[in-house]
Amino acid sequence: MDMLKKFWSLVLPKNPKEINDIVDMANMSSIKAMSIFTAIVESLVMMRYLIIYRENLYFNLTTAVNITVVFSCVILATLADLFIQGKIHGHKLSVFIVLMFIIIISFFSMYTSYTNYKVGRQILVLFVANVSIISFLQITPLYHMVLLIFEFILLYSMLYSVDGAKNIVFINAFSYLIVILILCVVSYHRKNDSVIATYEARQRAEDFYIKSSEDQLTGLMNRFALDSIKIKKGLTFCVAMTDIDLFKTYNDKYGHLKGDEVIKMAASNLLEIFRKKDCFRYGGDEFLILTTKMTEVTFKQKMSIWENKVMETGVEGIDTPIRISYGVACGIVYSKEDLMALIKKADDKLYSIKSVRHTSSEDR
């Protein structure tokens, strides 16, 4: 029973969605390259045929097969490219494209081996094609094995219909099949283990990055995350530099632990309105919000909502409303320097707003 389970785990392994997504993308890249290569080679073969026999052209089955293969490969290359670009997606669609590629290439190779046999040549084309498919594509072994066995049964049935397959040493043919079946399983698991190892290493790196990029007190992103941000040229950024009004008085009057509660409360409300990846603890009681996902009007509306939520929430033990101030700046960013300039602009506006507020407070 254990042996049977082990066999099924070898030929019908189950991968999580994340691994399937990586495999699908790798398979689409391989199919795109192999389809383009096949289409070019077969187009050159047809051009050579047209040049050599231009005075005595005739349309036969081989020509029809070549044309079909070229057009099929162009279609498959296009579908694979659309998949890579994300315009079409889905694991089942990826499996379908892979299956169509295998069927087209296998039957073309089978036909070529068959025609070669009829004129006394080697029938190795099918073997070479299958080895190439196994080398470049990652296919669930059970399904691939079924396809391989069907191909070989069909090919040798065709050869038997020619002359009883008298020029075939069946023990050699059977050995080739067994070797390819074993190769199919070994190759799949070698690739799969490599994909899983790469994925796990990437996850560990991402976990480390998240931990090192997160402010421990607030859960917001920290200055390291801000320094590591990648700029996509030509995007419009909305930036807000903020701080908590008269924050020093909370520390002085209620103590630093209560001051920390004020910071955590403001950060918690911030995360209810903006994405975590857009929110940074800039230092002390200062927060930075930057996003490319909103218009300036929407961004200012969100900031106003946050300001009101902070005032309404408050912190237990502090009997006065907690207020925040912020300066907003929006603009097109082409480089890290442009982003830093936008942050400074927002900071300058914050300074101006706080100067007015403090002056008003002193007048009262």
Each residue of 171-219: pLDDT tens digit? 888 888 899 999 999 999 999 999 999 999 988 887 777 678 888 899 8
Which pLDDT score is estimated for 233? 79
Q: Span 77-93, mean pLDDT?
A: 93
Euclidean distance between CA atoms 311 and 53, whole angstroms: 87
Residue 170 corresponds to which tokens in the numbers above? 């069946």
Confidence (pLDDT) at 226: 86
| HEC per residue, the chain | CHHHHHHHHHHCCCCCHHHHHHHHHHHHHHHHHHHHHHHHHHHHHHHHHHHHCCCCCCCCHHHHHHHHHHHHHHHHHHHHHHHHHCCCCCHHHHHHHHHHHHHHHHHHHHHHHHHHHHCCCCCCHHHHHHHHHHHHCCCCHHHHHHHHHHHHHHHHHHHHHHHCCCCCCHHHHHHHHHHHHHHHHHHHHHHHHHHHHHHHHHHHHHHHHHHHHECCCCCCECHHHHHCCCCCCCEEEEEEEEEECCHHHHHHHHCHHHHHHHHHHHHHHHHCCCCHHHEEEEECCEEEEEECCCCHHHHHHHHHHHHHHHHHHCCCCCCCCCCEEEEEEEEEECCHHHHHHHHHHHHHHHHHHHHHHHHHHHHC
Q: What is the dihedral of CA 35, 40, 42, 44, to 10 degrees?
A: 180
pLDDT for the residue 358 = 60
Residue 79: CB atoms within 10 A of its CB come to 22
The answer to whether 331 and 338 have CB atoms below 8 angstroms apart is yes
b/e burial code for range 54-67 (CB count within 10 A of at least 16 → b) = eeeeeeeeeeebbe
Is a pLDDT exceeding 90 seen at residue 286? yes
Residue 232: name the closest of 291, 166, 289, 274 by CA: 291
The per-residue pLDDT for range 123-153, each reduced to its tens digit, is: 888 888 999 999 999 999 999 999 999 998 9
CA distance 108 to 114: 10
Task: Report the predicted TM-score, pTM, of the whole model to 2 decimal places.
Answer: 0.64
**In sequence order, which residues have a C-beta less than 8 Å from that of residue 248 and are 6 or more positions away?**
none
Q: Whole-angstrom Cα distance, residue 304 to residue 291?
A: 16
What's the mean pLDDT in 105-129? 89
Q: Give 49's pLDDT tier (boundaries 50, 70, 90).
A: confident
Give the model's pLDDT for residue 359: 57
Please tell me the predicted confidence (pLDDT) of residue 110: 92
Average confidence score pLDDT of the chain = 89
Longest dimension (CA), the chain: 109
pLDDT (0 to 100) of residue 357: 67
Write down the residue that tokens 């101006």 correspond to: 352
Closest C-alpha among 241, 233, 238, 213 to residue 336: 233
139 Cβ neighbours under 8 A, 6+ residues apart = 27, 98, 102, 133, 184, 188
Give the pLDDT mean for 326-347: 93
What is the structure's pLDDT at 309? Answer: 94
Strand partners, 221: 214, 280
Q: How confident is the model at residue 364 (pLDDT cuts 50, 70, 90)?
A: very low
- Identify the residue with better confidence: 212 or 239: 239
In this predicted structure, the answer to whether residue 112 has a pLDDT above a threshold of 60 is yes
Q: Which residues of 29-42 are buried (b: 16+ CB within 10 A; e: fewer)?
A: ebbbebbbebbeeb
Contact 248, 258 (CB under 8 A): no
The residue type found at 321 is: P
Confidence of residue 363 (pLDDT cuts 50, 70, 90): very low
Q: Answer yes or no: is pLDDT of 242 > 90.
A: yes
* pLDDT for position 362: 46
What percentage of the chain has pLDDT greater than the value 90? 56
Pairwise CA distance, residues 323 & 74, whole Å: 62
State the CB neighbour count (10 A cutoff) for residue 91: 13
Quick one: average pLDDT of 10-33?
A: 92
pLDDT at 99: 94
59 has pLDDT over 80? no
| For range 214-225, the mean pLDDT | 88
Residue 246, Ramachandran bin (φ over 0: left; ψ between -120 and 50: alpha; else beta) = left
pLDDT at residue 232 greater than cutoff 90 = no
